Structure 1
Amino acid sequence: MTTRPKMDRTMRAVGWAAQRALKFPPAVDRGVTVEKDLQIRADDGVLLLADHWAPANAPDGERVEQLPVVLVRTAYGSGGPLGWMYGRALAERGMHALVVRSRGTFGSGGEFLAMRHEREDGLATLRWLADQPWAGGGVVLAGSSYFGYTQWADAPVQVKAMVPHIASSRLAVTLLRPDRMELDTLMNWVWNTSTQERPRALMRGMLGLDRKHIDKAMNALPLVDGDKVLLGEESTFYQECLHHDQDDPYWKGVDLSGTVGDVTVPVSSVTGWYDIFLADQLRDFQKLMEAGRNPRLTVGPWWHANARGMAASISEVVDWGAALARGEAPAERAPVRLFVMGADQWRDFDQWPPAGYVEQRWHLNPGAALGATPTQEAPPSSFTYDPMSPTPSLGGPKLDANGVGPKDNRPLEKRDDVLTFTSEVLETDVEVIGEVSAEVWVRADRPSCDVFVRLCDVSPNGKSTNICDDLVKVRPDGITEVTVRLSPTAHVFRRGHRIRVQVSAGAFPRFARNLGSGEPIATAVTPHRTTMEVFHDAEHPSAILLPVKPATAQHR
């Protein structure tokens, strides 16, 4: 059925307010038509439902049937804010938008099995689209997170551009490093996708009404029963993630990272410094660069599903993707555009990571100091980690919008199970852009432990803001060197500020607790307190390695 939404004052006000608040490109015409519940037949006969949004009137000199077409395939439905942003907002800007619901979701037939049918269903959708009389223009693939992944799963024919946002060519597989679980993200995604079609699910999520129930499931032991506590039944996807890490051949066919370099369609990736898929999305970009594909990259000060990040991706569709779909050359821009935090400014570069930055070691020293050289002799710093009172996660990248991104870390740093190492006050700015890592020498009295390292910026008033971090699983053998690859960043530590490094043994519930027994993570149930030592002497020079612009590479 085709309908013409009434262009009343409310809709106009929403459009203008969103355009101003989110800095969308200006609308061409607020008149829009929408066809609901179009049927697309997949290769196995399953019917997928789609909504088609279109401009009521073509821009001057163009025909409606020759306008660019934006294809979005989503597992989260086509209504609410997503329907507005990927439907109406694009149609108002002179483009068709086809929003297709993944199989098994919101009326589409079949069973929803995460990432399993996206390639075949994507190809079927593109074949169907080629037969539509209104779809004579070039196609742009767009979408965020899960529906950013579906772009890599397509094998485009008439596609002229791709704009993956906060996504990865292997999506959830990137979160499944051996013996480690990003618990908060996995639990929230399983809950959201399992309950999203219940009445008032979106409102409950926005108000945090399900938080206590999700927290109870994240605290459950053993982890293999977490889905049953969460849903009252087993979740196929949860169990897949728990029992198959990213190196497992089980993921063959859904991990598309090995073929990224083969993609010849122009790609413009949009992500944020606090996004859960940041490192993977940057690797996808590098693979395209190495293959000579001339991709584009935009990284802002955003986290997963941040409204401004989503608006930036829509702008890239409208300004860059639509030009390519029309067969035109988009406006010139450097391949890499980064928001440099601390300096609070956008900068353009030729590549990622940018050239001209030199790796510099900032050593963890006794007395909670961070300096240019290691101390020759010093006893290790130590703390005790208790999995029954685990070191909490505070800020950083995660799926849940509650408490995500940059936060004041002083409450965390007051804990006895968190070590901090802080530089002297900086006499000049220190500009850090690129890959960040740490080399930490540790010893533990249990057969298994985690090492969490976080980089922070301490302002003159003492506020400590997290910049980047990560956690690795360790099976220590005496004094053991541990390499932690923190998420990449672009940040200027201002003159008068200080650089701080945190070292701890957990960040719960963002990461599942290490119980210290060395047993498989899925079935371990008995918690053990773990005493950990961090060494910092000439023989064990623990340090964080920062890519620093030479003109600012000064220690005190």
Structure 2
Amino acid sequence: MSAAARLGGLLADAALGLPLRATRYTVERGVAVPVPDGVTLLGDHYRPAAASGPLPVVLIRLPYGRAGLLAHALAAPFARRGFQVFVQSTRGTFGSGGHFRPFTTEREDGLATLAWLRAQDWCDGRVAMTGASYFGHTQWAVAPYADPPLVAVSPHVTAARITTAFYDHGAPGLENALRWSVAIGRQEAGGLPGPLNPRLRARVDRALRLLPLQAADTAAVGAPVPFWRDFTGHAAPGDPFWAVADHDGADLSRMPPANMVTGWWDLFAAAQLTDVTRLQAAGVPVRLTVGPWLHGDPAELREAVRTDVAWLRHHLQGGPAPSGAPVRLYLQQAGTWLETTSWPPPGTRAEVLHLRADGTLTGGAGTPGEAPRTFTHDPADPTPTVGGPLLERPGKQADNRAVEARDDVLVWTGPVLERDLDVVGHVRARVSVRPELAHADLVVRLCDVDPAGVSRNVVDGIRRLDPRSVPAADVAVGTDGALAVDVELFPTAYRFRAGHRLRVQVAGGAFPRFARNLGTGDPFAVPASGRPCRFEVLGDAAHPSRIELPVLG
């Protein structure tokens, strides 16, 4: 290892907030791994220079390349701490053979790679996996099926049910899907997933507004992108195409201990915290950190690497167990961390607030005869989204006053809080609604209104209504045709300060974060125009509408 490489490693450690280490290692690049269908996958093998004999292996499988910044940030920090690391490019990326169809071949390829590793004379049979986002998905594609099991995993900012990032309760996540399609469509020509240059961003913004949407990838990046075609072509409820990609139904009996990092504004947070609950129920040891981060925030990635160093040292090198409570949650607007034993944290109580006909948000249910409130969602002028858990900036919290002033958004506002209110856990709503069309979207958003009247989004959720999936467990049909729709909002840990007010928005869309519902029932990327939909939102005694908050303390 050259002096320049060692200096670069020390600088990378400093940027990641790690103690400086200068352990020497060797790298064998372009190691070929054959898989059963004849394709060869390429990987880089990092090994401590002074090591002799077999060692455990940290496996990282990713589609974004193995060199440059990714090597310095994701593989070398572990190699500098004496770990043996194998970093592999997934099928069809950066020299690996085959065709890259995201999420569809990672189980077979991952298990084949695991078997190959265990057969090498430099591997002692113990393998752990780590990585964030897509290379968190590659862990879920292997860990529940590995036999013998992996030693440990660290699936950060990802989810067992990966499709929740692109289809949220039936609604296609248009903006995140197109921006990621553009990133992977151009990455081997010099780009990586992340912020786009202004010119390309403008092209993507125009493509998001195209109708029909089928060729939005070509409009944005100049050529078809296979993932975009899969995303637009397999969006129907229950489409079997994605069965190979989702692993939330896997048997967890072989899951090893897991270390997870995510952010309250990460697009995977809701599904990932559902995974945490499932793993805890199955008796799998889990450590969890949730910070105030958007997907890919540098602080989020630093926390993932920092916690993984201690995690892997414990499981692969016999180091001490990580200290502190297993669950750490950043309480937003309080500037503090909560430590607890599990997710969701014990000791919360449900506070129910009702959406009343006069636009107030109160603890009392509606009375008989209260008139419904109405709005019309027009897909030709879709309700915009502001802030939220996006794949890239801007996201997080934003001023929602311009959205709330639109006539296609209804708001309910609570009284001024006399004391701080800490909401920690999963937020849920039930809205009684009578949409004019059978195909419609229902969006519910919880906001924090400060003393100056600025309304900022905290959490939200969407439910796409479709006759093929209504009635359902989360949609009940009344005798008068009204629908009682359960909407799962994002989880959070958030302090509403004394002097602030809570506000709930209800709308028929959140564009371009979600594809507009054109009301026709056709596949979402096919129609060139849509139909307006009038909604009645009810709140009387027979049709209560409410939001349920998990309040701490």
Residue 307 of structure 1 pairs with residue 298 of structure 2? yes
Report the Cα distance in structure 1 between the residues aligned to 2:104 and 2:79, rounded to whole angstroms: 30
Which of 188, 212, 222 in structure 1 is aligned with 2:212? 222
Equivalent residue for 1:130, pick from 106, 115, 118:
118
What is aligned with 1:60? none
Partner secondary structure for residue 99 of structure 2: coil
Cα contact 2:75–2:85 (8 A) shared by 1: yes
- Farther-moved stretch of structure 1 (370-379 vs 281-290): 370-379
8 A contact 1:431–1:493 mirrored in 2? yes
2:253 to 262, 265, 281: 262
**Do structure 1's residue 239 and structure 2's residue 237 form an aligned pair?**
no
Residue 511 of structure 1 is matched in structure 2 by: 514
Q: Does residue 408 of structure 1 match 2:399?
A: yes
Question: The residue matched to 1:197 in structure 2 has which SS?
Answer: helix
- The 5 Å alignment of 1:84-233 reads 84-132=72-120, 134-136=122-124, 138-154=126-142, 155-156=145-146, 157=148, 159-172=150-163, 175-176=166-167, 179-199=170-190, 201-202=191-192, 205-230=195-220
Deviations 1:515-534 (A, max 9, x none): 23344424333222333232
Please, which moves more after superposition, 177-186 or 70-79?
Answer: 177-186
1:382 and 2:404 matched: no
Q: Quick check: 1:51 aligned with 2:44?
A: yes
1:82 and 2:70 are equivalent in the alignment: yes
In structure 1, C-alpha distance between the alignment counterparts of 2:52 and 2:386, rounded to whole Å: 49
For 2:15, the equivalent position in structure 1 comes to 18
1:167-188 alpha-carbon deviations (Å, 9 max, x no partner): 1123135633575211111112
How far is the alpha carbon of 1:165 from its aligned partner? 0.5
Query: TM-score w.r.t. structure 1 length?
Result: 0.88
Deviations 1:85-106 (A, max 9, x none): 1122222333233211011001
- Distance in 1, matches of 2:401 and 2:27, equals 50
Measured in 1, the distance between the counterparts of 2:194 and 2:370 equals: 53
- Say if 2:380 and 2:529, in contact at 8 Å, map to a contact too: no
| Per-residue deviation, 1:421 | 1.6
Q: Report if the CA contact (8 A) 1:51-1:100 is conserved.
A: yes
1:391-436 deviations in whole A, cap 9, x for unaligned?
111111122x121222232332233322222211111121211221
Deviates more, 1:312-321 or 1:363-372: 363-372
Please say if 1:37 is aligned against 2:30.
yes
1:524 aligns with 2:527: yes
**Structure 2: distance between partners of 1:528 and 1:36:** 56
What is the Cα deviation at residue 234 of structure 1? 4.7
Report the equivalent of 1:459: 450
* Matches of 2:96 and 2:302, distance apart in 1: 27
Does the 8 A contact of 2:213 with 2:526 survive in 1? yes
Q: 1:71 to 1:351 in 2, by over 3 A?
A: same
> After the TM superposition, which residues 388-399 of structure 1 pair with which residues of structure 2 at under 5 Å, given as runs?
388-399=380-391
Amino acid paired to 1:491: Y
Distance, in Å, in 2 between the alignment partners of 1:468 and 1:344 is 18
Name the CA distance, whole Å, in 2 between partners of 1:37 and 1:208.
35
| Aligned with 2:497 (options 477, 491, 494) | 494
Displacement after TM superposition at 1:129 (Å): 2.6
Amino acid at match of 1:248: D
Change in Cα spacing, 1:25 to 1:204, as seen in structure 2 (3 Å) is closer
Letter in 2 for 1:45: G
How well do the aligned residues superpose, as a CA RMSD in angstroms? 2.7
Q: Distance in 2 between matches of 1:543 and 1:137?
A: 53
Map of 1:424 onto structure 2: 415
Give distance in 1, aligned partners of 2:540 and 2:487: 19
* % identical aligned pairs: 40
Structure 2: which amino acid aligns with 1:498? R
Partner AA of 2:315 in structure 1? L
AA of the residue aligned to 2:4 = M
1:207 maps to a residue whose letter is N
Instruction: Call closer, same or farther: CA 1:407–1:283 in 2, change over 3 Å.
Output: same
CA-CA distance at 1:235 after TM superposition: 4.1
TM-score using structure 2 length: 0.89
Residue 30 of structure 1 deviates from its aligned partner by 6.3
Give the CA deviation at 1:437: 0.9
Q: Structure 1 residues 109 and 216, CA, compared in 2 at 3 Å: closer, same or farther?
A: same
SS in 2 for 1:76: coil
Distance 2:421 2:449 in 1: 13
Aligned 1:280-295 pairs, distance under 5 A: 280-295=271-286
Task: Could you tell me which runs of 5 or more consecutive residues in structure 2 were left unpaired when the two chains were aligned.
Answer: 467-476
Please state how far the C-alpha of 1:438 moved relative to its aligned partner: 0.9
Q: Does the 8 A contact of 1:271 with 1:300 survive in 2?
A: yes
Counterpart amino acid of residue 487 in structure 1: F
The answer for unaligned runs of 5 or more in structure 1 is 58-62, 552-556
Q: Aligned in 2, Cα 1:448/1:251: closer, same or farther, shift over 3 Å?
A: closer
Q: Which amino acid aligns with 2:8?
A: M
| Deviates further, 450-459 or 364-373 | 364-373
TM alignment of 1:314-463, pairs within 5 A: 314-376=305-367, 377-399=369-391, 401-463=392-454
The number of residues matched between the two structures is: 536
Change (3 A) 1:231 1:505: same
